[in-house]
Amino acid sequence: MEYDNDDNSWRRPSTTQQNKCHRIPKRSTTTAVVVLGLAVLSCLLGYCVLSETLPYESKTLRLVIILFRHGARTPVSTYRSDPYRNYQWPDGYGSLTNVGKMQLYELGKKYRSYYANYVPEDYYEKNVYVQSSDKSRCMMSAYTFLAGLFPPSQRQTWHAELPWQPIPVHSLPRLLDNIVAGTKPCAKWKAMYAEQLAEKNSDPKFNEVFENLSKYTNQTVRSVIDVDYLYSTLATEQEAGLKLPEWTKNLFPHKMRLPFMLSLALLSYNESMQRLQIGPMLNEIRENMNNTFNPSSGSERLLLMYSGHDVTVVALWRALGFGELLEPEYGASLVLELHEDIEQNLFFVKAFYRNNTKTEMPMELKLPFCEDPCSYKQFYDHISNLIPDDWETECENNVQGA
Amino acid sequence: MIKLMLLALFATTSLCDETIEFAVVIYRHGDRTPVNPYPTDPWKNESLWPVNFGQLTNIGKKRHYQLGQWFRKRYSHLISKQYNPQEIYVRSTDVDRTLMSAQANLAGMYPPNGTSVWNPDLMWQPIPVHTVPEHDDNILAMKKSCPAYDKEHLKYTHSVEYLNKLHKYDELMHYLSSNTGTKIKSFADILDIYSTLYIEELNNFTLPQWTRSVYPEKMREPAGYSFKTETATPLLARLKVGPLMKIIVTSIQEVISNKTTGKSKKHKKLLIYSAHDLTIGNILNSLDMYDGKCPAFTSTILIELIHDDYTQDYYIRILYRNSTEIIEPSILNIPCCGAKCPFERFKTIYDNLISVKWDYECRQSQFVAILVMSFIVGMGLFATIYMTHKVLFMHWSKEIDPEVEQYDRFVNTHFVTLKVSMDCSFNRDQV
């Protein structure tokens, strides 16, 4: 029944158009020519504008995977000399703010128009799978992203005044999550991380920053991870419009930025760490791509989405072979597209990155391990190198537990 | 109905000297399409339905939204008008319809106002709904593997008690089997058909002629029984519902100790669980409160901690609403304790559930199984070694054959006695 409504609404505009056409011959030929010319021009213009916001390859697109960082949040921690130590943050530490909710909503809307030719208007559970870190700010970001991406179509409207519909977001509890948050305990990774951290912390080039920060914060700063926390606290305070103390001027952000970005990268610093930190997510990506690649799987999935943290984005970034340090802003998103060139019978992968939610056009990334276009085979081989056969065994968790 | 209204009246008037300090709500998802229509179903074509099989419908979303509004009203004194993450915790089974129901429910419960309006064009705000994959979830989905449970369940479904009850419906099951094109052999199978027919009727699909003689009257009772089988014995109930009841009681305990010690330590005010009819049935039956009626869409159990402002005592009250309509729930009678049960008494009554050590107890029968397995493997190894030995021995000297036979007999008897003693220990563990 609800389908019929849609059909009617499709038919209606075409009949009104016909009426207009009938009127045209009654007027003088010059106006007719001008009107026609204008119509053609506006059509062309509209087409040009539209085609720019749509990816030209949308006909070859088969699967889109999006990993995004949550939106703006309140600080996760404070420091000893923090003048805002007792500041009443809305909803407490580490909460998604209203700005953050809006950022992801806007991002969802952006992807809706960007993939308008690809993602159907109706939310259909077989097309979409969303997994989030169990952290509230990530789940809430996923919800507002989906609110922007899938506003209910007429058929899916269930509440007259509420242009929103519930869409399932799956998650794993912290201690079980080796997919998005990477918080499931892994003994081998922990040891490798500790080793890397010790090595980087002893780099003399950070001595000055550590010393200065220790002096001004009135607490011991001896590790890039301490700088990481301070950096993110100062950044969030500044975003909230709070005036930072005088001492920060010489240190924040420029002198703290390198150790901060290094701290994010350390979790997935080398290939062996990437296997354990992001390998399980790569495994899911591979599985989803494989299902799209094999028509026999019957997969109808068009979109796979992950709502994670800055370190999740950095881990996937590094696993894709990018060595540069990265500072993903709120709502930064990393996209993998699987395309099929039917004529050449070739599947290929494209990667894109938006560092924040304001970017209009995503930046296309040249995958360093691959030619252009990057064939699915090459991509498959690359990520397969980073996927453990058995994560649990490779983590040597049992040895640790025994 | 009058009784129900009186109860509701009682509940509201008595609020003057009583405060709800903490509450747990457990609800079933809203209206859905059939999960798995039977083979001969005239409506088994998925495209005849507004959403795919097993998915939440628009009516289901709307009902949960209304239920959320009702929660907001009932617990207006307990939880803030503004969403406060420190006050509530929402958990759902990892199934689309329950995850979506929870979100729709929260949309009704927490319409944004004041500072929580983040988008003036959208009077909705995101609130986290936590979940655990079903195979890892022993709390809400109650589907995490538990060998001790499986063993007990198998024992129960082969018991005389169960089989006698089931055999009463042999004729019905035979009739259903021949008409639905699938083998109907348990209460759960009857429920599957019953729910499918119920949903089809609800959606104005004409039911086939054959259903008239059995649906709904003759199927109602056995369909309702299916909610008893998973928690039919004390051990089944303990392993199925124990972990959830343990969390609930622990949370209540924390609230009381925070209150009595005057600690300002923050505790949750409301726990919300989004689950299935089987979850509702399992809980009610384990609490000895199940009335034999299938839980409807959005049916809700409310467990409330009440502080008597006069006597300063803490009580538990359990309410249940088994209706798709948002009507007032009725207060259930806690066995041997009544409508308002002192918390300490409540703990004693349900000790069988609360005291469960799930991981340990579930592995118990596995441990026995591993013992038996290793014993069998060990004996098998011994037998092969012995056989090769015997063959070689026979090869070397055929003359001492009788001796070998004696040896053979010795091993056989030895093997048998060992096996018997093993069986006994097996039985003892079972008890």
Between CA B187 and CA A273 the distance in angstroms is 51
Residue that is last in its domain, among B313, B331, B354: B354
Q: Give chain B positions within 8 Å (CB) of A136.
A: 85, 128
- Nearest chain A Cα distance for residue B109, angstroms: 14
Q: What is the pLDDT of residue A158?
A: 96
- Nearest chain B Cα distance for residue A235, angstroms: 21
**Residues B42 and B84 grouped into a single domain:** yes
Q: What is the pLDDT of residue A307?
A: 98
Between CA A375 and CA A347 the distance in angstroms is 6
Q: Give chain A positions within 8 Å (CB) of B49.
A: none
User: Would residue B192 count as lying in a domain?
Assistant: no
**Residues B390 and B296 grouped into a single domain:** no
Over the range B237-270, which residues count as b (16 or more CB within 10 Å of their CB) and which as e? bbbbbbbbbbbbbebbeebbebbeeeeeeebbbb
User: pTM for the full model?
Assistant: 0.84
Q: Give chain A positions within 8 Å (CB) of B119.
A: 101-102, 105
Q: Which domain holds residue B247?
A: 18-158+229-354
**A61: three-class secondary structure by DSSP:** strand
**Residues B344 and B376 grouped into a single domain:** no
Query: Which tokens is A85 given?
Result: 């130590």
**Residues B367 and B345 grouped into a single domain:** no
Q: What is the pLDDT of residue A321?
A: 97
**Residues B386 and B243 grouped into a single domain:** no
CB contact under 8 A, A139 and B126: yes
**Residues B350 and B372 grouped into a single domain:** no
Residue partners of B293: CB distance under 8 A and separation at least 6: B220, B224, B322
Q: What is the pLDDT of residue B289?
A: 97
Between CA A172 and CA A181 the distance in angstroms is 9
Interface mutation target, options B124, B136, B266, chain A, most CBs of A under 10 Å: B124
Between CA A54 and CA B69 the distance in angstroms is 41
User: Would residue B9 count as lying in a domain?
Assistant: no
Q: Residues 135-154, chain B: which have Cβ within 8 Å of A?
A: 136
**Residues B379 and B411 grouped into a single domain:** yes
Residue that is last in its domain, among B354, B376, B397: B354
**Residues B246 and B118 grouped into a single domain:** yes
- Nearest chain A Cα distance for residue B27, angstroms: 17
**Residues B241 and B370 grouped into a single domain:** no
Q: Which parts of A240-270 fold into alpha helices (H)?
A: 254-266
Phi, psi of A371 (to 5 degrees): -80, 175
Q: Indicate the pairing of strand B314-321 with strand B330-331.
A: antiparallel
Between CA A290 and CA A279 the distance in angstroms is 16
**Residues B26 and B76 grouped into a single domain:** yes
Residue that is last in its domain, among B298, B332, B354: B354
Query: Which tokens is B329 given?
Result: 């729930």
Interface mutation target, options B55, B92, B95, B100, chain A, most CBs of A under 10 Å: B100
Residue partners of A400: CB distance under 8 A and separation at least 6: A187
Contact B318, B330 (CB under 8 A): no
Q: Which parts of A294-328 fold into alpha helices (H)?
A: 310-319
User: Would residue B370 count as lying in a domain?
Assistant: yes
Domain at B324, CATH number: 3.40.50.1240
Residue of A nearest to B96 (CA): A168
Q: Give chain B positions within 8 Å (CB) of A169.
A: 99, 129
B14 in contact with chain A, both atoms CB, cutoff 8 A: no
B94 in contact with chain A, both atoms CB, cutoff 8 A: yes
Range A48-51 contact pairs with CB under 8 angstroms and sequence separation of 24 or more: none
Q: What stretches in chain B show pLDDT beneath 50? A: 1, 6, 8-15, 396-431
Specify the residue for token string 């005592």. B313
- The residues that bridge with B90 in the sheet, in sequence order, are B272
Q: What stretches in chain A show pLDDT beneath 70? A: 1-57, 399-402
Q: What is the pLDDT of residue B402?
A: 39
CB contact under 8 A, A173 and B124: no
Rounded alpha-carbon distances, angstroms, from residue A307 to A142, A281, A387, B365: 6, 12, 20, 40
Q: Give chain A positions within 8 Å (CB) of B204.
A: none
Over the range B13-38, which residues count as b (16 or more CB within 10 Å of their CB) and which as e? eeeeebebbbbbbbbbbbbbbbeebb
**Residues B119 and B264 grouped into a single domain:** yes
Between CA B341 and CA B347 the distance in angstroms is 10
CB contact under 8 A, B85 and A136: yes
Closest residue to B118, CB basis, from A98, A124, A162: A98
Closest residue to A162, CB basis, from B124, B127, B131: B124
**B300: three-class secondary structure by DSSP:** strand
Overall domain count for chain B = 2
Decide: residue B84, CB within 10 A, 0-12 exposed, 13-18 middle, 19+ buried: middle
**Residues B257 and B130 grouped into a single domain:** yes
- Nearest chain B Cα distance for residue A162, angstroms: 7
Closest residue to B94, CB basis, from A90, A105, A170: A170
User: Which residues of A belong to the active site?
Assistant: 70, 310
Q: Which structural domains are found in chain A, ordered by start?
A: 61-185+265-393 (3.40.50.1240)
Between CA A310 and CA A231 the distance in angstroms is 13
Question: Taking an 8 Å Cβ-Cβ cutoff, which residues of chain A contact chain B?
Answer: 2, 90-92, 95-96, 98, 101-102, 105, 124-126, 134, 136, 139-141, 143-144, 147, 156-159, 161-173, 176
User: Would residue B216 count as lying in a domain?
Assistant: no
How many C-beta neighbours within 10 Å does residue B207 have?
A: 17
B124 in contact with chain A, both atoms CB, cutoff 8 A: yes
- Interface predicted TM-score of the whole assembly (ipTM), two decimals: 0.84
B61 in contact with chain A, both atoms CB, cutoff 8 A: yes
